[in-house]
Amino acid sequence: MNNSTSILRFNSELFTRPSAVLAFLVAWLLLATLPAHATIRVWLNPVSGGWSEATNWSGGAVPVSSDDAYITNNGTFTVTNDAGASFATLTLGGVSGTQSLNWSSGSLSGSTTIGTNGVVNLVGAGTKSLYGAITNYGQVVWTSGSGATWY
């Protein structure tokens, strides 16, 4: 019992010293300011569907600006985006089939990579704005009458 009493006293003395308190506060502040890791959102729907439908994405949530979104399942299908979207990264295109993103209006914000089997179709007369880098190994199809602004 005497040993445990001295250990407790040592611990209580440790946190009464200003240097220990300062070290604890600095460590806590550093941990509190670490960036959050991106959540990976994978398209689940093996057929066509809407971007903004949460059930089409892993985790049951639509990608947000800090998420990495993947539309890479094999097969031929179209994801429809008519309201814009924000993501950290978007990867479009699987190993086989054709994975298309029909973008009819709104802003896409984030870095986008279009793989060899990926297709982005700019459709409709709605205003479209792209904020972020785009790396294209696939296709971007700009339909006549489709307005877009690139930033």
pLDDT tens digits for range 41-89: 999 999 999 999 999 999 999 999 999 999 999 999 999 998 999 999 9
Domain that holds residue 106: 40-150
Highest mean pLDDT among 5-14, 30-39, 132-141: 132-141
- Same domain, residue pair 28 and 76: no
C-alpha distances (whole Å) from 114 to each of 18, 33, 37 are: 55, 33, 23
- Same domain, residue pair 138 and 96: yes
C-alpha span between 32 and 77 (Å, rounded): 42
pLDDT over 50 at 5, yes or no = no
- Same domain, residue pair 55 and 83: yes
- 33 burial via Cβ count (<10 Å: 0-12, 13-18, 19+): exposed
- State pTM to two decimals: 0.73
pLDDT (0 to 100) of residue 127: 85
pLDDT over 60 at 1, yes or no = no
Helix ranges, the chain (H): 2-14, 18-32
DSSP 60: G
Mean pLDDT of 7-12: 47
- Same domain, residue pair 144 and 88: yes
pLDDT (0 to 100) of residue 18: 64
- Same domain, residue pair 20 and 91: no
Contacts of residues 130-135 at CB distance under 8 Å and 24 or more positions apart, as own/partner, are 131/107, 132/108, 135/111
- Same domain, residue pair 76 and 137: yes
Mean pLDDT of 127-131: 90
**Number of folded domains that form the chain:** 2
- Same domain, residue pair 15 and 59: no
